[in-house]
Amino acid sequence: MMLVVGRLLGRRTYSTKPNIGNILKELELTSGVNKGVFCDGKWIGSGPIFKSINPATGETIASVQTATFSEYEETIEKVEKDAVVWMKTPAPKRGEIVRKMRDALSRKSTALGHLISLEMGKIESEGLGEVQEYLDICDYATGLSRMLNGCVIPSERPGHFMLEQYNPLGIVGVISAFNFPVAVYGWNSALSLVCGNSVVWKPSPSTSLCGIAVTKILEKVLIENNLSPSLCSLVCGGSDIGNAMTLDNRINLLSFTGSTEVGKKVGVAVQNRFGKHLLELGGNNAIIVTEDADIDLAVRSILFAAVGTTGQRCTTARRLFLQRSIEKEFMSKLVKAYKQVCPSRIGDPLDPKVLIGPLHNKKAINDYERVIQQVKNNGNGEIVFGNQVMPGNGYFVVPTITRVPLGAQVTKDEAFVPILHTMVFDHLYEAIQENNNVAQGLSSSIFTTNLSSLFRWIGPTGSDCGIVNVNIPTNGAEIGGAFGGEKETGGGRESGSDSWKQYMR
């Protein structure tokens, strides 16, 4: 935990701001119009042109020409045709290709991390960290390629045995969100490929440059190894392309990362055609701090969990429950910690002095203002710190702390902005009940030194989330464990553990 907090509080890897032109050039992108469809080794695209906007300045970085429906059809037909060859390739050989992809990505990791900062808005260390997650899951997948084990089961029939074997699905579709424009695809594609599947990716329209840059890197690896580049196809586009993927029977598994509202529609549509879906949706994560906790540790962790990535992680801490006896001391220290970085360290994410970047778009600014107004409209709610949209062309806000009653309606719906709602509790069971009393169930954490509280928290009547932490923040999940949540978070699992089985039959 101390390492990641150290990154937030000032560790940077360069002393001068990178040049945008050099970043684009190294990743074989142009500041003009980039073709957004990779089909059968060709870069095409004759659909609508989307602008990629730098959220720190409001200026256009470059443009992407997206897919038409006919170009989408052409891409899927090619993927379907070539998928059989990859299925028949021995799994360890598939793992070797993923290892080579990892090496190719590593050689471009700095430029790719800087592009994430440019297009999404993460500070440089977070952009590089996201690329590292992709590299790590490639390492994991390479080892996994020799361990895709089934089992032999004793039979009740004499002279017989039963064999369980996992086989590839065929085609995996990935629809990723803006907040992790590289890593989410990496988690899905690395495992999908070693499992023997081909992958079709539709990145978020607002971070399509990241999708093109990654695909160009993977393209070279496939061609150099005499494999069809269609194994990693790309179709940039809007909701029309997303709908086409959702309804397409040729896509055996659709992995969707995004809002709960859209995820519900995706899940129903895929289920109606009896396809498989993997949903990573809302979070609305909570942290509980008991009176026996290490307060200084909790303060540092909550600062990182609440303001890191400007509140735009699915694992961002959005609700904080403080035991009444420590509430006054804790809030004093938390506000002091916020003042150390806000607003003096807010700004351009590629500026080495900046620790908190912009929100991703104008809609997020509107959400920030809407939630703060909801708190003000609640007679028992108050703004403790923040509540400021910063002037200029970028989408900058000051991370905000509120104080609201337990069960306040404003805490039920997740807003993807850096607003932390604080509440007071008397008994642990109240805090656990309130942690669980929302529709989402991704990540949760408790800070305590009491073993009884710890085991209650992680037990069957404790947190109902997919990720349950103790004395660390809600964010910072590792690729070795299965990532995902319960309830309206979607129930999907990505990355480690047994999540690979979702990509097979």
Residue numbers annotated as active site: 280, 314
Are the C-beta atoms of residues 397 and 349 closer than 8 Å to each other? Answer: no
Are the C-beta atoms of residues 443 and 466 closer than 8 Å to each other? Answer: yes
Residues in Cβ contact with 260 at an 8 Å cutoff, skipping those fewer than 6 apart: 281, 282, 414, 439, 440, 488, 489, 490
Give the DSSP letter of residue 346.
B
Give the DSSP letter of residue 18.
P
Reading phi first (left if > 0) and then psi (alpha if -120 to 50, else beta), residue 41 is in left
User: Closest Cα partner for 190 from 503, 498, 489?
Assistant: 503
Q: 10 Å Cβ neighbour count for 396?
A: 23
Distance of CA 143 to the CA centre of its chain: 23
The length of the chain is: 505
Are the C-beta atoms of residues 176 and 119 closer than 8 Å to each other? Answer: no
Q: Is the dihedral of CA 66, 69, 74, 79 positive or negative?
A: positive
Phi and psi at residue 168, to the nearest 5°: -60, 155
Are the C-beta atoms of residues 303 and 338 closer than 8 Å to each other? Answer: yes
Q: Which two tokens stand for residue 364?
A: 């997020």
d(CA 417, CA 369): 10
Are the C-beta atoms of residues 20 and 357 closer than 8 Å to each other? Answer: no
d(CA 349, CA 355): 7
User: Closest Cα partner for 225 from 202, 200, 192, 193?
Assistant: 193
d(CA 125, CA 354): 11
Strand ranges (E), 252-369: 253-257, 276-280, 285-289, 317-323
